[in-house]
Structure 1
Amino acid sequence: MQNEPEEKPEDMNDLRRVSNMINNYSVTCSEKADKRYLFKIKVVWLSIITLFSVLATFVFCVLWTILFKLEDATSTHCGYRTKNYLPTISTAVGNYPVQRFLWTLVIIAHSPVRLIVVGIYYQYYTSIIKPSLHWCVILLRFLTTVEVFSLVVLSIFTSSNNYSIHEKSFMTFICASELNMLISSILLKKGRITITVMTKLEVRSLKYKICFTAFNMISFAIAGYCFLRHNNYCESGVYTLFALFEYLVVLSNMAFHLTAVWDLSSVSLVLDDDLNLSYR
């Protein structure tokens, strides 16, 4: 029998070197995979936490004002001869120190998150809307950004300390939010690329967007009518109806924005090793 050829020392060293390289590469890749990001959160949870923090603050401000400042908060130019039972939003969140501090703090704190979601929505719309309508997508991004900043301004400059700025900011907020809701609903209904197929969550989202948009506009129209009627006739209860429908305008606007949990259900916000913020 022939003896099997012995492995040379050089060959053994080469094999060990290659084996070590493979092992080192595997360990490096594994460690790198574990360090792809420092922070990751679903946009769904980001939207829920952000909007419910605003909702909770809104409810607290209104209830606190009703419990402790109702008579003062519901007094108007009509005097005490007309009985009212609800304060307006501007009064509830802006006329008293505790409520004003909490509301302003939450609105300023939640604004960066809202702007991040605006950027994510911009990418979402450009991927599903016809290229010929991308100017509408740019318009939507502008309107939503204006909506966020005008909300901050009208929260800082309240009706009691600077009525002129507050009034202009409020009108800007209303116009931007109404147009944003209307254009979004129409664009998602009529402007989608033909080859795209809506998921069940997107169908649900669009259905509720249309409902909240219609409800918001009707509520705003009724609130405006009650405001004018109260100013002209000073009837008991009309100011209360104005405040109630004003609440419904704000709540339906929040609900509209909460539909992001269906549109962006698969998107996460990621902070990587290099402190770059992105979404995937």
Structure 2
Amino acid sequence: MEADGRPPGLDGDVIVHNTDEHPEKQGDHQHKLEKNRGNDNADVGVNKQRYYNVTVHYSVSFKKLCMVTVACPFFALVICFVTAYIFQYDDIHETHCRVYNIVPSISAITGVSPQRYLWRASVALHLGPRYIIAAVYRAYQQNLINQNADYSVKTKANFWLDLAFWLNVVEVTALGGVTYISNLENYPVHEKLFIVFMVTSLFHMVACIKAAQIVAISNDNVEAAQTELFYKKFLFYLSIACTIGMIVFFLKHRLLCHNMAFSWFAICEYVVATANMAFHLTLVYNFPNERVVVANGLHPCEERTPARHKRKPD
């Protein structure tokens, strides 16, 4: 929406109805707007104008949507960890090496029942909005690109934004696969989907950072983006460090069966998952006031010809 409340691209008068508002109040608003139109068209001549009748059925803060989307899997993960650790300790620590461990993996605590149902429900609520957020973020950054910047700069910015979008789509899809195909049901497929999720997640972070940098360069406003880039880079470096730790400790556990190796692997896994959620949460700072709207009438509904008005003789 533009600053005056008009949907972008609409150059006529806009009547906005809220379905939650009382019908009498809606009529008053429309009457006032019609009165204002009559004053504006008091000059001689015929001026064709387009009138838009927008009815808003539902509106929600995009920032709140992003926060709820991240909160669902986070709190579900905490609940799964606590309940599984208390009530199903032996089940979640069972590994092929049968060595001593104290920290279970995410796959372990979300693969037992009934925790798996809570985890799957939370991810189901998480996946849909993530696709929307990915599309909105790409469009938002593309609108920030300075059209007067060099062609090469604009091309690079669009390339990294498109790459970040598609990597995010693959990452979210792989997350759904990892969630609904557990390691107990089909370990080979679960393992491959987890690798796809990890790789696309890291490359998505790189693409987002590069895109944000180039968009800032196109506007000659790098300083203003430093805070956002700092948090994104910190979370990316943390994810890289913990991903390396996951690989090292997984090999120690799988090949050498060291005590506590799997626990250290699990700790790194929790840090990576939290960093991934935090990285996506940084997007909310780009959308402090935007809203997701379900509305009718965003296209021209009719075209009227105001009546002629004669000037009174002097």
Q: Normalised by the shorter chain, which TM-score bucket?
A: 0.7 to 0.9
Q: Which amino acid aligns with 2:136?
A: I
Change (3 A) 1:149 1:26: same
Q: Which has the larger radius of gyration?
A: 1
Question: Is 1:93 paired with 2:110?
Answer: yes
Q: Distance in 1 between matches of 2:203 and 2:246?
A: 18
More helix by share: 1
TM-fit CA distance, 1:191: 4.8
Which residue does 1:106 correspond to in 2?
122
Higher relative contact order (Cα pairs below 8 Å, separated by 6+ residues): 2
Q: Is the 8 A contact 1:128 1:193 kept in 2?
A: no
Pairing 1:132-143 to 2, within 5 Å after superposition: 132-133=155-156, 134-143=158-167
Which residue does 2:175 correspond to in 1?
151
| Number of matched pairs | 249
2:135 aligned residue (95, 98, 119): 119
Change (3 A) 1:259 1:118: same
TM-fit CA distance, 1:42: 1.8
Change (3 A) 1:25 1:151: closer
Q: Distance in 2 between matches of 1:24 and 1:236?
A: 72
Q: Which amino acid aligns with 2:170?
A: V
1:33-74 Cα shifts (integer Å, max 9, x gaps) = 996412222211111111011100011111111111222211
1:167-217 Cα shifts (integer Å, max 9, x gaps) = 1211111111110001211222245343253685x4322211110000011
Q: Root-mean-square deviation (CA), in Å?
A: 2.5
Which residue does 2:258 correspond to in 1?
235
Q: Which amino acid aligns with 1:56?
A: F
Q: Which amino acid aligns with 1:215?
A: L
The 3-state SS of whatever aligns with 2:292 is: strand
Q: Distance in 2 between matches of 1:212 and 1:100?
A: 28
The 3-state SS of whatever aligns with 2:255 is: helix
TM-fit CA distance, 1:252: 0.3
TM-fit CA distance, 1:99: 1.1
Q: Single out whichever of 119-128 and 216-225 deviates more from structure 2.
A: 119-128
2:280 aligned residue (257, 268, 274): 257
Which residue does 1:19 correspond to in 2?
none
Identity of aligned residues (%): 25
Q: Distance in 1 between matches of 2:298 and 2:288?
A: 24
Change (3 A) 1:235 1:131: same
Question: Is 1:269 paired with 2:286?
Answer: no
Q: Distance in 2 between matches of 1:84 and 1:116?
A: 39
Q: What is the TM-score of this pair, normalised by structure 1? A: 0.81
Q: Which amino acid aligns with 2:253?
A: H
Q: Is the 8 A contact 1:36 1:272 kept in 2?
A: yes
1:205 aligned residue (228, 239, 254): 228
Q: Single out whichever of 263-272 and 155-164 deviates more from structure 2.
A: 263-272
Change (3 A) 1:199 1:190: closer
Can you give the 5+ residue segments of structure 1 that lack an aligned partner in the other structure? Answer: 1-22
Q: Is the 8 A contact 2:167 2:203 kept in 1?
A: yes
Change (3 A) 1:29 1:234: farther
